[in-house]
Chains A and B, each alone.
Chain A
Amino acid sequence: MEIPYNSTQRPDTGLYNAKVGIWLFLASEVMLFGALFSAYVLLRVGASPGTWSMGLMNIPVGTFNTVILILSSVTVVMAWASLKLGDFKAYKKYQIATILCAAAFVLVKWSYEWPAKFTHYDVTFKDATAAKDYFVAAYGDNHSKQVTKIAKDRYNDPELQITQVPLSGHIVGYKVKGDTHVHDVGKVMNIWNGAWFWRINWQDTNMVALNCPKDITAVILHADGADDDHAKPQHAKTASLSTDAHSGAGSKHHGVEIPVSRIKRLSSLEPAHSPFFAIYFTLTGLHALHVLGGIVVLSYNLLPIGTRLWLKDPDRFANRIETTGLFWHFVDLVWIFLFPILYLL
């Protein structure tokens, strides 16, 4: 006996099998992301002042990604509608557009947004004196303004004091027992797309310095917005992650030399940085995996191995595209929630 209702609807439920299956799968996905959203809420509500470092997201880029995902939602529906009208050529066109949008989304994340975080460093100091010293070194007379700016833009909490905000920027070099190595760590990391083994992180007496000598004595930090390069106006924006590590002129920055003895914690904006970045990378990473999975399925149904079903059983093929589309809408919908909670709110 063949399995019934693979391509036709069961009269009493009005559904074909795969549609029931995909809705159940999506229900489970809702619970998966729901748990992560609830973790987000709990972590955010429980965060101490000056730890929810959310204001560094690149909103224009996030908006761009939102727009292309919504666009792909439209094209995926058009692809299915074309099949229902029997227009296979139009289906192909629309589905290729969907895949291009999806690929663009992942590309922006992988090659731009995530690496920008991994190359951006936060330094917190052991005491107020150290904090003041290096904020002054980086920003001169503007330092208190800068502290307020970071407190407001990044933590949405203007009350934060100088000891509660990090000095933030790109590391342009380091010192080993007196020898200065001018070395654009940020640039190297960009080549590797921010892979973890290029980090130099520091916490009190315990250093995680995987690509640097263990006896590192100081790091040279080019603070965000420190006014040393008027040719690059984006340096003035503290709150957004500019990509000046890309500029290729890293060694020209006038960095501030900070001895490690005065650093409490040095960390790039990687998952270990703070609960915010932990949940940010987990949520966007899991979402990106879903996008990649979507690309695989969408591509399968464009290649001969998938499309031969169209010749054999067009109804079933259209159903397949419909269920793919339902999954794709879900992936979009997740992003519609992710964008505000990670970028805007």
Chain B
Amino acid sequence: MQTATHTEVHHDDHSHAEQSFWTKYIFSTDHKVIGIQYGVTALVFLLFGFGLMMAMRWQIAKPDQPIPVIGALLESVLGNVAKDGIISAQLYNVFGAMHGTIMVFMAIVPLGFAAFGNYIVPLQIGAPDMCFPRVNMASFWAFFLGCVTMTVSFFIPGGAAQAGWTSYSPLATSLPTDGQTYWLVAMVLLITSSLLGAVNFIATIIQLRAPGMTWGRLPFFVWAQFVTAFLLLLAFPPLEAAGVMQLMDKVAGTSFFLPTGLFISGQPATISGGGSPLLWQHLFWFLGHPEVYVLILPAIGIVTEVIANSTRRPVWGYRLMVGAVLVLGFLSFIVWAHHMYLTGMGNKVATFFQTTTMIISIPSVILLTCLFMSLWKGAIRFTTASMFAFSFLPMFGIGGLTGLPLGFNFTDIHLHDSYYVIAHFHYVVAPGTIFGLFAGVYYWYPKMTGRKMSEYWGKVHFWCSLIFMNLIFLPMFKQGFDGMSRRMSDGGATYASGEGVLGLAAESIMTNTIISHAAWGLAIAQVPFIVNFFWSIRNGEKVTSDNPWNSTTLEWQTPTPPPHGNFITQPVVYRDAYEYSKPGASKDYLPQNEKV
């Protein structure tokens, strides 16, 4: 692209003919449409996954009492597992497994990585589209098929997968229902989708940066997506391999993950044996840990963009942050077995992974510190987007710091598999990542629709979400210290009357009720968001310029919303990503494509 002349938007030969509804909105190859497709699908599953959790919270708070209204519906759809509107232990397991699976693979990753990445990355680097638009479309449709398969599995006899989102063998393999088979097939589709997406993102960032967009000038969001794409590219295939092997165990009777001498329900299993349950755990967590960073890095990227924009000053330590995120990406591949301290894999192995786990906290702290430092002396604008971004920092901080006791194998012995773990990783992904994603929705909404979302209802959404999130997850730390296991379908009621080591403190069980009420409060708090989201498409405040937040990065230098092909003329980059409040400049921001 040597010529920076006035190239017509509709010059490329795909858009000579007027596009039909189907090619424009359904089977689109435009990265922005695909981004929105991902975003809408992911938001739907975010709500669905949350709904599963609310049903589980009912069962925890009020064991074996019928759920009002929804209970009857569940019984009519799912049958005996929800008899009389009561969540049976089996259904609780189904919901638990699917809550994790849906939230991780079908909501957060597609929203953070695929939706925002697809929409924003090509715009921010000044590219007309992704490198491989048709591969991009294939990626979405593989994802969609995976989602359909996963959803359908609720309605097969026996219901969906029940062995947790981690699907440990031999439990996952020996359950007599087909849910796990559907889960595995769906996972293979989702992994295919993420593979296609990851290849596309990396190739796009390497190849399609606009003239002058050097690596040092990339917005941090692009760096975060770049590292995330590498994690997906290299960490997901081992899970795919493991999935294929577990599928073989399930349908071809092999024993990859089934040990010799396995008994199922008191009967010797008719298998050859000789497999290794630990093998599954290693392969799973080889994905599972980088996956944590796949969840968090896009959110950190969004938060960085929003913070720079709303403090009106450059991000503090841009180069440090880029270095940290690269180190983080690399280290995330060698910490996985800290999820497995209690498997008896041996002290030496545990010590190694304990060490790497402590080391990986360094780049995480660098990232967070840089973002905190960015606030210093900022002329802060308190928009809904920026408030979500600011609150991300302490929330992610709590999530990160409470992870340290889990990274040490001697403290992990007490806390493992307790509510403490749930509280820890939810602080990372729920008030952490999801707040980051909300910030992104409020921040980029005007670019996608040409209108802003309501700030008033946005702030209502923010404050209610913040309060209820903390009411849900803060007490869980205490429950975990009290020794409450995370896998009890009755919230520990069985152990309420026990004494000594077996008994649970009465307040731990009472806390269940508080948490559950907070969870339903959080659900109500999302109503303003949902209404605001749809209402603002037609009725929101119209933006008067293409760059309503006065931002420096390239995505705001396009028409609103950007047409197919994005830029009217080929942008040329002259500046770093965050030139806010530059001394001597006529305005407090200098777009990257403004000539020096």
Residues of A within 8 A of B (CB): 1-5, 10, 13, 15-18, 20-21, 24-25, 27-29, 31-36, 39, 42-43, 46-48, 51, 196, 203-204, 206, 208, 265, 267, 270-275, 277-279, 281-282, 286
Contact = CB atoms under 8 A, between A and B. Distances in A.
Contacts of B283: 35, 39
Contacts, number: 157
A10 B252 contact: no
A32 B238 contact: yes
B208 A28 contact: no
A1 B237 contact: no
Residue picked from B1, B129, B207, B233, most chain A C-beta under 10 Å: B207
Contacts of A271: 248, 252-254
Nearest to B268: A204
B244 interface: yes
Given A31-B234, A281-B248, 12 more contacts: A15-B206, A17-B132, A24-B203, A35-B241, A35-B283, A36-B241, A36-B244, A51-B272, A203-B270, A278-B252, A278-B275, A282-B256
B245 A39 contact: yes
Contact of B272 (A20, A273, A286): A273
B515 interface: no
B12 A20 contact: no
B129 to A, nearest CB: 6
Nearest to B244: A282
Given A17-B132, A20-B206, A27-B233, A1 B567 contact: yes
Given A1-B11, A2-B11, A43 B252 contact: no
Interface string B280-304: 0001001000000000000000000
- Closest 5 pairs (CB-CB, A-B): A272-B253, A278-B254, A35-B238, A35-B241, A1-B128
B255 interface: yes
B241 A43 contact: no
Contacts of B9: 1
A35 B270 CA distance: 27
Nearest to B568: A1
Residue picked from B1, B11, B135, most chain A C-beta under 10 Å: B1
Interface stretch (B67-75, B147-155, B192-200, B427-435): B192-200
B252 A272 contact: yes
B570 A1 contact: yes
Interface string B562-575: 00011100100000
Nearest to A24: B199
B202 interface: yes
A31 B274 contact: no
Contacts of A270: 252-253
A29 to B, nearest CB: 7
Interface string B113-146: 0000000000000011101110100000000000
Contacts of A267: 272
Contacts of A13: 206-207
A9 B420 CA distance: 52
A44 to B, nearest CB: 10
A21 to B, nearest CB: 5
Interface string B240-262: 11101100100011111000100
Interface residues on B, range: 35 or more
Contacts of B244: 36, 282, 286
Contacts of A10: 207
B255 A275 contact: yes
A42 B276 contact: yes
Contacts of B279: 39, 42-43
B351 interface: no
B195 A28 contact: yes
Contacts of B286: 35
Residue picked from A29, A39, A206, most chain B C-beta under 10 Å: A39
A2 to B, nearest CB: 4
B248 A39 contact: no
Residue picked from B208, B274, B286, most chain A C-beta under 10 Å: B274
B248 to A, nearest CB: 6
B260 A48 contact: yes
Nearest to B258: A275
Contact of A17 (B207, B270, B275): B207
B271 interface: yes
A1 B12 contact: yes
Contacts of A274: 255, 272, 274
A21 B256 contact: no
Interface string B300-318: 0000000000000000000
Contacts of B131: 3, 17, 20-21
B349 to A, nearest CB: 13
16 contacts: A1-B566, A4-B128, A10-B207, A17-B131, A24-B199, A24-B233, A27-B233, A31-B234, A34-B238, A39-B279, A47-B274, A271-B252, A275-B274, A278-B255, A282-B244, A282-B245
A3 B132 CA distance: 9
A28 B239 CA distance: 12
Contacts of B271: 272
Residue picked from B127, B244, B254, most chain A C-beta under 10 Å: B254
Contacts of B242: 35, 39
B270 A20 contact: no
Given A35-B237, A35-B238, A272 B567 contact: no
Contacts of A27: 233-234
B7 interface: yes
Contacts of B199: 21, 24-25, 28
A47 B276 CA distance: 10
A330 to B, nearest CB: 13
Contact of A2 (B12, B252, B256): B12
Nearest to B201: A24
B208 A3 contact: yes
Residue picked from A203, A271, A273, A277, most chain B C-beta under 10 Å: A271
A23 to B, nearest CB: 9
Contacts of A31: 233-235, 237-238
Residue picked from A43, A203, A204, A275, most chain B C-beta under 10 Å: A275
A3 B567 CA distance: 12
A27 B7 CA distance: 36
Nearest to A267: B272
Given A31-B234, A203-B270, A278 B128 contact: no
A266 to B, nearest CB: 11
A5 B210 CA distance: 12
A322 to B, nearest CB: 15
Residue picked from A1, A196, A278, most chain B C-beta under 10 Å: A1
A271 B249 CA distance: 9
